[in-house]
Amino acid sequence: MLGYILKRLLAVVPVITFVAIFVFLLLRLTPGDPAAILAGDAATPAQLEKIRTSLGLNDPLLVQFGTWIGQLFRGDLGISLISNIPVSDMVGQRIWPTINIALMTIILSVLLAVPMGVIAAWKHRTWADYAVMSFSVLGFSVPVFVIGYIFIQVFSIELRWLPVQGYTPPTEDFGKFLSKAILPCLTLATIYVALIARMTRASMLEVLGEDYVRTARAKGVSETLVLFRHALRNAAVPILTIIGTGFALLISGVVVTESVFNIPGIGRLTVDAILARDYPVIQAMILLTSAIYVFINLMIDVAYSIIDPRIRY
């Protein structure tokens, strides 16, 4: 088991290395000069040259790459070109709203989607099944921000139940945090629920046809136990996989949702940095989100063996 985890950890190294090379080249090889952005329109060539030298932009690509990787290993993510604040500080300030919203969304989605998928499979080809499937196809087809605006229109503007936008840290005022976080979480959850419910249903349908499910029913195990203990546990691996790969969807959802609801998280931070061409922030954020994505999927791979004892490494 430990050997397996180590092996998987090692396999992550080339992936992250390629991501780093890719992000680095992406920013160097596209038109647009960070020095020109920093200096503004009125800059003289001499000023531009000075900025380039101070940023190391005149060094050969390989040297620049080496410097950057060296900094990364020392935990230095660089300094924002625009606000002059170290990127790690910016991330530290803005990661909590994102983590809070994302965690709430994942918990909410799993709690909603898994029972939905189980019921849809259990009541296969009935109205309940069709309702779940319709929801899941619909969830894939409506852009996240449209869902967000519909929620704002209905719950905040028409019904006036919830505040329109904004964010309050839970440590400051938990009630306010909840009232502001509900709509973003529901918005984000729509697509995630659609994805997980669909996979749960498909996976459960397969398992429910197995002999041991028939045996369990025949020996009089209650239906709830059959569904959740016998069937769901065996159907869990694809469901977990989709929760992991769906994490990519969640990231893109977070980026959009933070803009819709005006939440100061790292999604907004990244988009703002990209639009302003704040190179150090872009590099750091893309690398960071990719690393998070890779590690979450690694953890899920490891979790398989705990959930499903048939998988042994």
Strand, coil or helix: 296: helix
What part of residues 30-49 is at the interface with other proteins (CB under 8 A)?
30-32
Which residue of 208, 255, 284, 300 would you call a contact of other proteins, by CB under 8 A? Answer: 255
Q: Which long-range contacts (CB under 8 A, 24 or more apart) does 52-59 make?
A: 57/33
Enumerate residues 177-196 that contact other proteins by CB under 8 A. Answer: none
Binding mask 195-224 for other proteins (x = CB under 8 A): ----x--xx---------------------
**In the stretch 50-69, what mask flags binding to other proteins with x, by CB under 8 A?**
--------------------
Using the contact rule CB under 8 A, the part of the chain among 8-16, 71-79, 81-89, 214-222 near other proteins is 8-16
Q: Which is nearer to other proteins, 200 or 216 (CB)?
A: 200
Minimum Å distance from CB 26 to other proteins? 6
Of these, 1, 4, 22, 107, which contacts other proteins (CB under 8 A)? 22
Give the separation between CA 51 and CA 37, rounded to whole angstroms. 10
DSSP 8-class letter at 125 = T
Listed in sequence order, the DSSP H helices in 123-228 are 127-141, 144-151, 174-208, 211-218, 223-225
211 to each of 31, 34, 208, 216, 217, how far by Cα in Å? 61, 64, 8, 9, 10
C-alpha distances (whole Å) from 241 to each of 200, 272, 290, 293 are 11, 31, 17, 12
Q: Which positions touch other proteins (CB under 8 A)? A: 14-19, 22-23, 26-27, 30-32, 137-138, 140-146, 149, 153, 157, 199, 202-203, 238, 241-242, 248, 251-252, 255-256, 259, 270-271, 274-275, 277, 282, 285-286, 289-290, 293-294
